[in-house]
Amino acid sequence: MRTLCDVCENAAAILFCAADEAALCRSCDDKVHMCNKLASRHVRVGLADPSDVPRCDICENAPGIYMDS
């Protein structure tokens, strides 16, 4: 299943930013995270590669899950 970008709501999301709790396409990621020094430090993970999925904040073992509301 494809997740749409939370910003433009048109393109497929390829990254997830935990700090912003947002799934982003490449174009919106560039706009959001290159606007200032603080935002550029946010850690983003790819949504396409399962090995890139961050670990659960609670158990720190299982893959974390992003739920699209």
Longest dimension (CA), the chain: 34
Residue 68 has pLDDT above 60, yes or no: no
Give the model's pLDDT for residue 69.
46
Domain definitions of the chain by residue range: 1-69
Residue 66 has pLDDT above 60, yes or no: no
- Rounded Cα distance, 37 and 69, in Å: 29
The pTM for the full model equals: 0.67
Give the model's pLDDT for residue 1.
54
Cβ contact 60:17 at 8 Å: no
Instruction: List C-alpha distances in Å: 54 to 1, 19, 37, 68.
Output: 19, 12, 23, 16
pLDDT tens, residue by residue, 11-62: 999 988 988 989 999 999 999 999 889 999 998 888 866 565 667 777 877 6
